[in-house]
Amino acid sequence: MEKESAVASLGQSTLLLPAWIKAALQANDRLKLYLSVLQSSAQRAANPASTAVDWTREVAHLGLRDATWLKDVATTAYLQDQTLIVPQLSLWLEALASDLSIMARPLCDIAETSDPALSARRDHWLKKIEELNDEEGLSQQALNDLTHGNRHGSDSFHLLVMDLHKRLNAMAVAVATEDVDGAHVWQVEDGDRPLIRAFMRGLARTASLKFNHPGLDTAVTRNGERLLIQNDIGTNDAHVLVMEVEKRTVHLTYSDLHAARFEFFRQMLESIGFEWTVFAPRTTDGLNQGKPYQVGNAVFEAADDEALMEVLEAASSRIVFVIDWNRARKRLQAFVRKPVAIAVLRYAAEQDLGHMAWLLAGGEQLIYEAMQAVDGEAFRIGDRLDHILGEAATQSFLQDLLRVASIKLREQQPVALIADEARLLLARVLQRRTFEYDLLAEHAAFCHALALALSEALEFAKTTEDGVLRAKDWERKADHVLMEARRRAERQPRWLPMVQLLDEMDDIADALEEAAFIHSITLTQPLAGLPPAVNAVLCELADTTLAAIQDQIKAIEIGRHMSEHNDPADSEAFLQALWRMLRAERICDDLLRSARVHIVQTLHSSPTSLSLATELAATIESATDSLLTAGYALRKLVFNKSGMSA
């Protein structure tokens, strides 16, 4: 303090700004903690059964180790006639007044930088805090006046703190005494500069991906043993990133209005070695429409100086990918589900492509125009792209489009060229048209599950109520696949052949589910199962059906990728799988006759068992009849697709 007094006595009060700004930013952190503790205490007082938030770590991190009164507020405050009774309220109010004075000092107490409006608001709140000292507790009105963030209402202590913080950040940039590779720096040591350059190196590597969007300004200073790095991600108060480097440890604090974006950033930093502690969401009036926002701390312990600089560079290179991230996610969700949209953005970040170029090139409008230009009949306004192309194909298309947009825009190519590229990419996806086979493969998978479960039940002469319910569930899911195809056919006639094929395949699922049910009846009292000879021939019948369905799955996967230019080996493999599947119907015809003989010879004295066993054998065989019809329909579909004669 002696140096500050000496500088002031010389009339050069502006030289105090760097130190005062640093102290003011520290006071801001403490004030936000005081208000958070108060809000948490009020919420718990209103709902005593809720778990109290443990603020020990935050209190220690801000150097408030002796402030036991602050931790007591969080656990012992209570309501009395709608008044919040706060233990040692005078200490809490004294801390508010002290840190408000420190925070406002650079903006109110230096003639060259003084703001009369902020000074008046500061004085108003210092007076109001003094008046609150005479009260036994805090009324609901007092709580609201201290903590609300609604700018459409009256002023609040919280609003003043936020406004001071914004002005302090701007002032910190203005008074920076040094520029280190683009960072605004003051009061650092010589040993800090390599760390600052490492951080700025990572930032510079990806900064071009934001194009003309504001953000990424960096301010750096030192606070005792800690190097403080703050990056300007955006303009919102709740979107903040601060790094603290002490020795070889990096502490990162990140807060975000959007839980999905917070999780996205968390995963990016986890991939480079940071370990996270994520706090319960916090709520502040006036922020995020009153909804909770997420806060977390991440720590990285570096083995040596080289590892420290590497992680600073890697972490800073990721910041650009959260700028306008939520806007990009929402626009991508016009075409795919939310998890797929996030996967597309993750790909763009991992490949150092970003999403801003796509947004600047037109975003969702770029895709809508491509859909209309490429195939006006295949696509209609309002169609979800993944409903037409399939999810996997749509994700691949979107990733390719974000890649092309990023490359072309950085090359300063015209947006019209990117629009043409979007049309070409979409046209290639339509030419492949493998997405229509996704429903076939999904339905065949349910049939396979049914056939496998039936074979195992017959082999071990055992079934359970759960097994019957699982079979019913698989059959129902197969029905839903057919219904989805019918829904698509109502909008796009080209889906009609697929619906006809799935109709045939659905008869397979129905037969197998019915067979599972009939078999379960044969195991109930008083029947208690079928004779071994009958069971053996039924097992052979079921196993042959299972093998035929496995061949159907192979044929679908091979047929998915066949075209008029396909490899002859693929054509041969497709035909072999198809004909094995078709031949299974003849084999099962013979097995059915053999089963009937064994059933009559063995069960002629038990009419109930005879009837059930005969019905079971016929039901299994009917699945292969439907496989035969479905096989010919698949052959026709694939041949038409590949340009060959059926």
Least confident of 51-55, 182-186, 330-334, 584-588: 51-55
At 12, is the pLDDT very low, low, confident or very high (cuts 50, 70, 90)?
A: very low
Name the least confident of 50-64, 237-251, 361-375: 50-64
Report, as an integer, the average pLDDT of 601-608.
83
pLDDT at 579 over 80: yes
Give the integer Cα–Cα distance in Å for 247 and 116.
42
CA distance linking residue 613 with residue 79, whole number of Å: 74
User: Mean pLDDT across the stretch 108-124?
Assistant: 84
The mean per-residue pLDDT over the stretch 131-139 comes to: 83
Alpha-carbon distance of 377 to 390, in angstroms, equals 17
User: Span 106-122, mean pLDDT?
Assistant: 83
Question: Are both 483 and 532 inside the same structural domain?
Answer: yes
Beta sheet of 83-85, edge-to-edge order: 78-80, 83-85, 138-139
The angle, 0 to 180 degrees and rounded to 10, between the axes of the packed helices 415-432 and 364-374 is 50
- How many Å apart are CA 28 and CA 161, to the nearest integer? 7
CATH of the domain at 606: 1.20.58.220
Q: What is the mean pLDDT of residues 297-312?
A: 95
- Whether residues 184 and 82 share a domain: the answer is no
Determine the Cα–Cα distance for residues 100 and 123; give it in Å rounded to an integer. 10
Q: Are residues 457 and 532 in the same domain?
A: yes
* Mean residue pLDDT across the chain: 84
Cis peptide before 526 (omega within 30 of 0): yes
Instruction: Summarize the confidence of residues 83-91 as an average pLDDT.
Output: 83
Question: Average pLDDT of 595-614?
Answer: 86
Number of structural domains the chain divides into = 4
Does 629 lie in the same domain as 538?
Answer: yes
Judged by average pLDDT, the poorest of 264-268, 405-409, 437-441 is 437-441
- Print the domain residue range for 330: 325-432
Same domain? 151 vs 200: no
Asked whether residue 359 falls in the same domain as residue 261, the answer is no
Q: Which of 252, 257, 248 is nearest to 270 (CA)?
A: 252
Whether residue 143 sits in one domain with residue 84:
yes
Q: What is the pLDDT of residue 376?
A: 53
How much is the pLDDT for 5? 36
pLDDT of 4: 42
- pLDDT tens-digit series, residues 452-507: 999 988 888 776 667 788 999 999 999 999 998 888 788 777 778 888 889 989 99
Position 373 pLDDT exceeds 90: no
**Are 409 and 443 members of one domain?**
no
Domain endpoint, select from 113, 144, 172: 172
Same structural domain for residues 157 and 207? no
Of 321, 346, 366, the one marking the end of a domain is 321
Taking residues 240-254, report their average pLDDT: 88
| pTM reported for the whole predicted model | 0.57
Q: Which of 302, 321, 340 is the last residue of a domain?
A: 321
Q: What is the pLDDT of residue 184?
A: 82
State both tokens at 306: 């080289």
Q: How far is CA 466 from CA 47, 480, 516, 520, 530, in A?
A: 43, 21, 12, 11, 21
* DSSP state string for 247-304: TTEEEEEEEES-HHHHHHHHHHHHTTT-EEEEPPPB--TTSGGG--BEEEEEEEE-SS
The confidence score (pLDDT) of residue 284 equals 56
Query: Residue 315: pLDDT above 80?
Result: yes
Range scoring the smallest mean pLDDT among 45-54, 398-407, 545-554: 45-54
Residue 240 shares a structural domain with residue 338: no
Asked whether residue 182 falls in the same domain as residue 163, the answer is no
Q: What is the mean pLDDT of residues 232-257?
A: 79
Which pLDDT score is estimated for 292?
74
Asked if residue 344 has pLDDT above 80, the reply is yes
- pLDDT for residue 335: 92
Count of helices and strands (H, E) across the chain = 24, 11
Same-domain check for residues 444 and 566:
yes
Looking at residue 7, its pLDDT comes to 31
pLDDT at residue 286 greater than cutoff 50? no
The pLDDT-based confidence of 405 (bands split at 50, 70, 90) is very high
